[in-house]
Amino acid sequence: MTKLAFNNVQGDLFELTDEMMQQGIEGSRKSPRKRIILPIHRVQEAEVQRMINFLQPGTYIRPHKHPMPHATESIVMLQGSIRFFTFDDNGSQLTTRIINSKPFPGVIDLEPNVWHSFIVAEPDTILFECKKGPYNAETDKVFAEWSPVEGSVQADEWIRSMDMGKIELK
């Protein structure tokens, strides 16, 4: 079974150490999904979900939106870079942005119901993500019907086309 995430951290204080960063990077390199999450909220039922995401190029973040009225999402680049996309309801690209960690940490903040995805542009990319909780897999996100399913050949093609700046979703 593929490990999708590390265990939630414990204790009253969390600090992201070099050792944790190396473990996360190694975890993402070994993962068939090319990514792994370190949840820094202490329990899954937390009102605020905070996560460190360790990502490698080639991971597929299927286009999705967060439909709940409270479902804002913030992303802060800690290391590396991503190409971030938004889409309309039919899958046409609305925006694309390169979000870098340098010269200063790039930030994305989304309101609910925005179709979005990203591709990882650099090895060992690390980002901080924050969303309102508690997490419920059934209501957290809706995947775009016009997007390929994770693990499919079409998903790999989608990543390549987005990386080249082309849109070929259908």
Question: Whole domain around residue 131: which residue ranges?
Answer: 18-163
Report pLDDT for 168: 39
- Is residue 168 one of the residues assigned to a domain? no
CATH classification of the domain holding 50? 2.60.120.10
- Is residue 106 one of the residues assigned to a domain? yes
Report pLDDT for 44: 86
- Is residue 5 one of the residues assigned to a domain? no
| Structure token digits, residue 129 | 């993500």
Strands 73-79, 81-87: pairing is unpaired
Report pLDDT for 2: 62
- Is residue 91 one of the residues assigned to a domain? yes
157 close to 119: Cβ distance less than 8 angstroms:
no
Where does the pLDDT of residue 76 fall: very low under 50, low under 70, confident under 90, or very high at 90 and above?
A: very high
- Is residue 154 one of the residues assigned to a domain? yes
| Structure token digits, residue 14 | 């969390």
* Average pLDDT of the segment spanning 91-114: 95
Sign of CA dihedral 133, 138, 142, 143: positive
Cis peptide before 112 (omega within 30 of 0): no
Share of the chain above pLDDT 90, in %: 81
| Helix (H) or strand (E) segment spanning residue 6 | none
Report pLDDT for 165: 59
* Average pLDDT of the segment spanning 133-145: 88
One-letter amino acid of 18: D
| Residue 166 pLDDT greater than 90, yes or no | no
- Is residue 3 one of the residues assigned to a domain? no
Report pLDDT for 169: 36
| Residue 94 pLDDT greater than 50, yes or no | yes
Strands ordered across the beta sheet of 107-110: 35-39, 48-55, 125-132, 73-79, 107-110
pLDDT one-digit tens code per residue, 18-44: 999 999 999 999 999 999 999 999 998
List the beta bridge partners of residue 126: 54, 79
Where does the pLDDT of residue 167 fall: very low under 50, low under 70, confident under 90, or very high at 90 and above?
A: very low
- Is residue 13 one of the residues assigned to a domain? no
Q: Any idea what the Cα angle at residue 129 is, between residues 35 and 104, rounded to 5°?
A: 100
Q: What average pLDDT does the chain have?
A: 92
Specify the number of domains making up the chain.
1
- Alpha-carbon distance 18 to 30, whole Å? 18
- Is residue 86 one of the residues assigned to a domain? yes
Report pLDDT for 85: 96
